[in-house]
Amino acid sequence: MVESLLHWLQTLNAPLVQFINFLLLVLEGVGLPAVPYEASMLALGLMIHEHTTTLWEAVLYGTLGNTLGNLIGYYIGPRGLRLIPKKTQQRLGLTQIQTLLERHGPWMAVISRWFGPLRTLFILYARTAGLKPLPYLLCSFVGALSWTAVWQIGMWLGGVAFLAIWHRYQIYGLIGLVVLSVPGYFIYRAVKAARSEVEAAEQSNTQREQEGASTPAGPEGGRGRLP
């Protein structure tokens, strides 16, 4: 299927292929399986070589499409989960995905982007886990940008060889990604904790000032003095 789609895409002009790739990455971003995005990204890689399009355009439009798909999945996720009985979700261990999202926040959208079917579950549970739309959107954009850039650069430089290498060695790349993500996660937690401490200190100071202003002045303040 991928080869047939690739041959067809090569007969089209670059803007149309960009649009098709955008749509395919929207579907992939929603979490649908077996979306043939490899063909459209490979076709764009060949077109970059032929100078009929540019790398930055392919990465940008692909990232926007994938991010849009993530956002669609975010909003339709709760409806899809209603089709699965709660007991079945618990039996399959799916509720652990919600626990991870509640514990680690929107950064799971970045990390899970590289883990295929598992990522679909994170998309479906994101809203149910209480993730706010804007943080989720920003982290989804970061994840989509990193993934799209790696794939599109790989298709541009390596073509079919990149696909073979990716399918053979992707597990090592994913392990490396997890290792690199750990420091980023702890930095995020440290910054979040520091902000919480600053906000708590500001609230405490404000409360003290309000209490001080509402306390009546003593004799030295001129009130209650005897004539």
In tens digits, the chain (227 residues) has pLDDT values of 667 777 787 788 999 999 999 999 999 999 888 898 999 999 999 999 889 999 999 999 999 999 999 999 999 988 887 777 777 777 766 777 777 787 777 788 788 787 776 788 888 888 888 889 999 999 999 999 999 999 999 999 988 777 777 667 666 666 666 666 666 666 767 777 788 888 888 888 878 777 777 666 555 554 544 54
Report, in this order, helix, strand and coil percent for the chain, each rounded to 5: 80, 0, 20
CB 173, CB 150: distance < 8 Å: no
Q: Tally the C-alpha atoms within 13 A of residue 160's C-alpha that lie toward its C-beta.
A: 3
CA distance 60 to 75: 23
CA distance 74 to 93: 20
- Which residue ranges make up each domain of the chain? 2-171
Residue-level pLDDT at 85: 79
- Here the tokens at position 172 are 């090592």
Backbone CA torsion sign across 11, 12, 18, 20: negative
CA distance 45 to 18: 11
- Compute φ and ψ for 120, nearest 5 degrees: -60, -40
Residue-level pLDDT at 219: 56
CA distance 102 to 122: 11
CB 150, CB 99: distance < 8 Å: no
42 exposure class (CB count in 10 Å sphere: 0-12, 13-18, 19+): buried
Residue-level pLDDT at 171: 66
CB 42, CB 86: distance < 8 Å: no
Residue-level pLDDT at 164: 72
Check residue 219 and report its DSSP letter: G
Coil vs helix vs strand at 180: helix
CA distance 115 to 161: 21
- Here the tokens at position 166 are 């990716």
- Compute φ and ψ for 78, nearest 5 degrees: -60, -35
CB 124, CB 65: distance < 8 Å: no
Listed in sequence order, the residues at least 6 apart from 36 whose beta carbon sits closer than 8 Å to its beta carbon are: 1, 2, 5, 24
